[in-house]
Amino acid sequence: MATIAIPAELLPGDGRFGSGPSKVPQAAVDRLAAAAPTLLGTSHRRPAVKDQVRRVRDGLRRFFDLPDGYEVALGNGGATLFWEAAGYCLIQRRSAHAVFGEFSAKFAAAVAAMPFLDAPVVVESPPGTAPTQGTADVDCYALTHCETSTGVATPLHRRGEGLTLVDATSAAGGIAFDPADVDAYYFSPQKAFASEGGLWLALLSPAACARIERLAGGDRYVPAMLDLGVALANSRADQTYNTPAVATLFLLAEQIDELNARGGLAAAAKDCAAKAEHVYAWAQASDYAEPFVADPALRSPVVCTVDLDTTVPADTVSAVLRAHGVVDTEAYRKLGRNQLRIAVFPAVDAADVERLTAAVDHIAAALRG
Ligand SMILES: *Cc1c(COP(=O)(O)O)cnc(C)c1O
């Protein structure tokens, strides 16, 4: 393996293909450095930082073309914290969860552990597929727009009477959808939005805001850090309940502006789909690789999973790539497959994706002699 050298012309210009954390454009980091003297290390209750929160909220409203009444909320803790907060402030009594990988399973497990809720209904399907059944008699239905652990993307549509909660952590910014089909569409900024981790953001429908205000202001004890009513009130004032990472907010705002300048969600989704199509078409044409997700309609346009046959160990391929500065192509570890996972978020260049697949072909040829 140590002897496999990838020719320079096959190496991507930027070697970051991780599914989150993901590539952060250097130009945005440079703009952060330029803004730093009057931004970093200043109070989050003052205009310089509140302006960044406003940029993020206004920019997302425009990017997602939100209907009147929808609100953009944010807070610290990432999507993982939002799961807990949703258990306190969005699920009234019982939720249903479409579970088809690690992330969707974690939300269901978090809710199952909450003593004040009924046991959740878990609608499960094997990795590489997605459940489609609806469920009656629940007040929230939890979907995952892109299951980052498997590379399955699901169409969003309401599956019952309750609120539709969507974990869009890796999908948001790269897959088109209709906001009218969701009530809480939440994500973290270190995936398709090319920033750092630590924050959660949520697009909330009027029905979700009403549920939050009822549950957060009701009899249930809600820890302040998990109180979406507190988060919503702070968001409306362009601030967060406690101190945010200002660099994360700035990099996020930069990427939102960039994507809005490129044509918003429709353009970003088209760009990601074209890059993903390259990966899937390459795998299909190859005699040693194939897309992991059998149903083309479920193949994610942002996180591409490709199985390799036993003649080409994926661990070796990823290790050779890593030795050349091309990183984070490893499959989700718990999936336990001979697989590459390649993120094609909006910040990733199409030409780099093409070089990556050519580099993998080069490594495979060397391994197979
Ligand atoms: C990355 C990811 C998460 C976790 O995000 P954090 O910011 O680490 O909390 C949750 N759900 C999905 C689908 C993800 O891809």
Distance in angstroms (rounded) separating the CA atoms of residues 228 and 209: 9
Q: Tell me: do 93 and 173 sit in the same domain.
A: yes
The total domain count for the chain is 2
Smallest CA-to-CA distance from 109 within 95, 129, 90, 130 is with: 95
Q: Tell me: do 305 and 245 sit in the same domain.
A: no
Going by DSSP bridges, is the β-strand pair 289-291/163-167 parallel, antiparallel, or unpaired?
unpaired
Domain that holds residue 181: 27-261
Q: Please state the three-class secondary structure of 34-47 as a single string.
A: HHHHHHCCCCCCCH
Burial (CB < 10 A; 0-12, 13-18, 19+), residue 13, is exposed
Ligand 1 centroid from CA 79, angstroms: 5
Q: Tell me: do 123 and 227 sit in the same domain.
A: yes
Ligand 1 centroid from CA 82, angstroms: 10
Q: How far is CA 14 from CA 279, 301, 354, in A?
A: 17, 20, 12
Residue 127 counted as domain residue? yes
Q: Which helix (H) or strand (E) holds 164?
A: strand 163-167
Domain boundary among 261, 283, 309: 261
Q: What is the full per-residue pLDDT of the chain (369 aa) written as tens digits?
A: 558 999 999 999 999 999 999 999 999 999 999 999 999 999 999 999 999 999 999 999 999 999 999 999 999 999 999 999 999 999 999 999 999 999 999 999 999 999 999 999 999 999 999 998 888 899 999 999 999 999 999 999 998 889 999 999 999 999 999 999 999 999 999 999 999 999 999 999 999 999 999 999 899 999 999 999 999 999 999 999 999 999 999 999 999 999 999 999 999 999 999 999 999 999 999 999 999 999 999 999 999 999 999 999 999 999 999 999 999 999 999 999 999 999 999 999 999 999 999 999 999 999 998
Nearest-10 Cα torsion for 122, 149, 83, 203: -110
Domain boundary among 236, 261, 286: 261
Domain boundary among 206, 235, 261: 261
Smallest CA-to-CA distance from 86 within 197, 244, 204 is with: 204
Q: Is the CB of 255 under 6 A from ligand 1?
A: no
Residue 5 counted as domain residue? no
Ligand 1 centroid from CA 76, angstroms: 13
Q: H helices of 237-349, where?
A: 246-261, 264-285, 314-323
Residue 231 counted as domain residue? yes
Residue 4 counted as domain residue? no
Q: Tell me: do 169 and 218 sit in the same domain.
A: yes
Q: How many CB atoms within 10 Å of residue 184?
A: 28
Distance in angstroms (rounded) separating the CA atoms of residues 284 and 188: 32
Tokens of 11: 């190496």
pTM of the predicted structure, to 2 decimals = 0.97
Residue 222 counted as domain residue? yes
Q: Tell me: do 138 and 101 sit in the same domain.
A: yes
Q: Is the CB of 18 under 6 A from ligand 1?
A: no
- Residues sharing a CB contact under 8 Å with residue 266, sequence separation 6 or more, in sequence order: 176
Q: Tell me: do 337 and 312 sit in the same domain.
A: yes
Ligand 1 centroid from CA 47, angstroms: 30
Distance in angstroms (rounded) separating the CA atoms of residues 267 and 174: 9
Q: Is the CB of 79 under 6 A from ligand 1?
A: yes
Q: Is the CB of 75 under 6 A from ligand 1?
A: no
Q: Is the CB of 80 under 6 A from ligand 1?
A: yes
Cis peptide before 301 (omega within 30 of 0): no
Q: Tell me: do 224 and 309 sit in the same domain.
A: no
Residue 107 counted as domain residue? yes
Tokens of 128: 């590489």
Q: Tell me: do 109 and 250 sit in the same domain.
A: yes
Residue 221 counted as domain residue? yes
Q: What is the CATH number of the domain that holds 337?
A: 3.90.1150.10
Q: H helices of the chain, where?
A: 26-39, 47-63, 78-89, 102-112, 206-216, 228-236, 246-261, 264-285, 314-323, 350-368
Tokens of 77: 């803790």
Q: How far is CA 84 from CA 13, 198, 248, in A?
A: 39, 15, 22
Q: Tell me: do 241 and 292 sit in the same domain.
A: no
Q: Is the CB of 150 under 6 A from ligand 1?
A: no
Ligand 1 centroid from CA 143, angstroms: 13
Q: How many CB atoms within 10 Å of residue 38?
A: 9
Nearest-10 Cα torsion for 4, 10, 13, 18: -60
Burial (CB < 10 A; 0-12, 13-18, 19+), residue 46, is exposed
Smallest CA-to-CA distance from 306 within 272, 335, 269 is with: 335
Tokens of 301: 């346009």
Q: What is the CATH number of the domain that holds 256?
A: 3.40.640.10
Please report the pLDDT score of residue 134 as a whole number.
83
Ligand 1 atom 7 nearest Cα: 78
Mind listing the pLDDT tens digit for each residue in 277-312?
999 999 999 999 999 999 999 999 999 999 999 999
* Residue written as token pair 């780099």: 352
Q: Is the CB of 103 under 6 A from ligand 1?
A: yes
C-alpha Rg value of the chain to the nearest Å: 21
Q: Tell me: do 274 and 241 sit in the same domain.
A: no
Q: Tell me: do 178 and 281 sit in the same domain.
A: no
Mind listing the pLDDT tens digit for each residue in 158-203?
988 899 999 999 999 999 999 999 999 999 999 999 999 999 999 9
Residue 6 counted as domain residue? no
Q: Tell me: do 35 and 157 sit in the same domain.
A: yes
DSSP 156: -
- Residues sharing a CB contact under 8 Å with residue 366, sequence separation 6 or more, in sequence order: 4
